[in-house]
């Protein structure tokens, strides 16, 4: 492994007000919205030649480019991210070869678990292209020093720089509803019945945006405030994934209560009708409010209450399977020790079903249409890393296409719909 040019990554700061110029920081400036409100934008610029380490016969090219190997290369960088949030990642490169090059960015290459955090999925630089800019949107990054790798595969490239542009600052939920856990009956504390029209209620939901792969190499672009992808209609919420839409291979929607409200304990119920067809991946789930970027998972916790893939639904009968699972530091699928709970469901895509979690300090149980199929109790060994007694959880509802669980998408499918009748949260009284 060749060690070259261990300069600190070039980052530039232009502050909002009269703060002095500081090197090795972010390029931050104020912009105005259509309502004349000031917002802060941050851009971190990483020059290609400022790599820390590399592999694959790297060469410095004039002026200011790094040439990678046709046999595959990587460049590592030490990058200071000043603001936690979601970033658009831009790769500036030239490809003088006929073959396209596949690139992706790996975060936290020094993580203690030896995991691979892919924060861009595949970024394709076309062959015979000059001054290309390839972008992935919405990558989550915490405000800290990141050690990252830029991987370049299948073709040689001339790399100019990488930019990280802040598009949404991270905001934890300001309201935490801790449910009462003693009593005999479940009483409603929060809900969305989706009885409105048009866009969703933004006092309850935040739009997650982008196409960075979402940790699962998912191809869809989650949009914001777009009726084609998320709308209230006839007393329901429709999340629609659309092929070759808005200039993207797939669009869809992902809604979360993050930044609005999170919950600790209680009964959580999604009443939904899921799509059938190879490649669809419907979900209603929980993610810990302490999630900031991929290093937060699974320590923050994740609970999958509604998780169904279209490939498991019979085209004729509509019968399929639902998956329930709990992820945290001690037990999750990448360790190979997760305990899955799966049960059969009749007519999954033809009618609404109730997907329910009962979450108490002693453990979790799940039900489909009132029938218990999931029982996960806090044993002594599990309690050592159990996050669900202290970390509030946000609700998430989304429809993905493809990815690690969805699988290859049927090319004949052009649209899929995940429909919610309601989302409700209860406590014991």
User: What residues are labeled active site?
Assistant: 302, 307
Q: How many helices (H) and strands (E) does the chain have?
A: 2, 32
Query: With contact defined as beta carbons under 8 Å apart, do 404 and 279 qualify?
Result: no
How far apart (Å, rounded) are the C-alpha atoms in residues 367 and 369? Answer: 6
Could you tell me which residues are beta bridge partners of residue 81? none
Tokens linked to 258: 């993050």
Q: Which residues contact 96 (CB under 8 A, 6 or more apart)?
A: 128, 156, 158
Strands 53-55 and 73-80: antiparallel
Q: Please choose, from the candidates 67, 223, 213, the residue with its C-alpha nearest in 3D space to the C-alpha of residue 152.
A: 67
Tokens linked to 87: 């970033």
How far apart (Å, rounded) are the C-alpha atoms in residues 279 and 413? Answer: 9
Ranges of beta strands (E only) in 83-144 are 85-95, 101-107, 117-118, 123-125, 129-141
Phi, psi (rounded to 5 degrees) for 89: -110, 125
How far apart (Å, rounded) are the C-alpha atoms in residues 27 and 196? Answer: 41
How far apart (Å, rounded) are the C-alpha atoms in residues 34 and 284? Answer: 34
How far apart (Å, rounded) are the C-alpha atoms in residues 402 and 221? Answer: 12
Phi, psi (rounded to 5 degrees) for 404: -60, -35
Query: With contact defined as beta carbons under 8 Å apart, do 228 and 240 qualify?
Result: yes
Query: With contact defined as beta carbons under 8 Å apart, do 392 and 262 qualify?
Result: yes
For 32, other C-beta atoms within 10 Å of its C-beta total 9
Residue 131: Cβ-neighbour burial (10 angstroms; 0-12, 13-18, 19+): exposed
How far apart (Å, rounded) are the C-alpha atoms in residues 45 and 24? Answer: 9
């Amino acid at each position: 492994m060749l060690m070259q040019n261990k300069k600190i990554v070039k980052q530039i700061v232009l502050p909002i007000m009269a703060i002095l110029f500081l090197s090795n920081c972010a390029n931050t400036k104020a912009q105005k919205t259509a309502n004349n409100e000031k917002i802060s934008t941050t851009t971190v610029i990483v020059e290609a030649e400022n790599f820390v380490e590399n592999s694959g016969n790297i060469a410095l090219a004039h002026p200011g480019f790094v040439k990678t190997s046709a046999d595959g290369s990587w460049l590592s960088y030490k990058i200071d991210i000043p603001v936690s949030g979601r970033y658009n990642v831009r790769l500036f490169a030239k490809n003088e070869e006929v073959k396209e090059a596949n690139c992706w960015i790996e975060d936290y290459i020094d993580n203690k678990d030896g995991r691979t955090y892919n924060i861009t999925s595949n970024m394709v630089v076309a062959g015979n292209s000059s001054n290309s800019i390839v972008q992935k949107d919405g990558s989550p990054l915490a405000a800290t020093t990141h050690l990252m790798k830029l991987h370049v595969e299948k073709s040689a490239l001339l790399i100019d720089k990488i930019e990280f542009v802040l598009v949404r600052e991270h905001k934890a939920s300001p309201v935490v509803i801790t449910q009462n856990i003693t009593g005999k009956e479940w009483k409603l504390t929060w809900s969305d019945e989706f009885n409105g029209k048009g866009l969703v209620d933004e006092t309850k939901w935040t739009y997650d945006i982008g196409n960075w792969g979402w940790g699962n190499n998912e191809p869809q672009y989650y949009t914001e405030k777009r009726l084609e992808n998320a709308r209230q209609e006839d007393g329901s919420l429709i999340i629609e994934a659309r092929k070759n839409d808005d200039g993207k291979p797939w669009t869809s929607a992902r809604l979360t209560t993050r930044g609005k409200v999170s919950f600790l304990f209680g009964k959580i119920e999604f009443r939904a009708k899921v799509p059938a067809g190879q490649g669809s991946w419907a979900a209603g789930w929980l993610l810990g409010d302490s999630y900031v970027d991929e290093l937060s998972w699974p320590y923050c916790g994740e609970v999958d209450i509604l998780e169904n893939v279209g490939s498991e639904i019979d085209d004729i009968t509509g019968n399929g399977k639902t998956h329930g699972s709990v992820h945290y530091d001690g037990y999750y699928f990448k360790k190979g020790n997760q305990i899955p709970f799966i049960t059969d469901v009749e007519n999954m895509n033809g009618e609404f079903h109730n997907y329910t979690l009962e979450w108490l300090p002693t453990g979790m149980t799940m039900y489909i249409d009132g029938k218990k199929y999931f029982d996960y109790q806090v044993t002594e060994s599990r309690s050592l890393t159990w996050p669900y007694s202290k970390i509030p959880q946000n609700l998430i509802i989304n429809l993905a296409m493809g990815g690690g669980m969805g699988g290859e998408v049927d090319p004949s499918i052009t649209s899929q719909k995940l429909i919610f009748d309601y989302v409700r949260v209860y406590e014991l009284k």
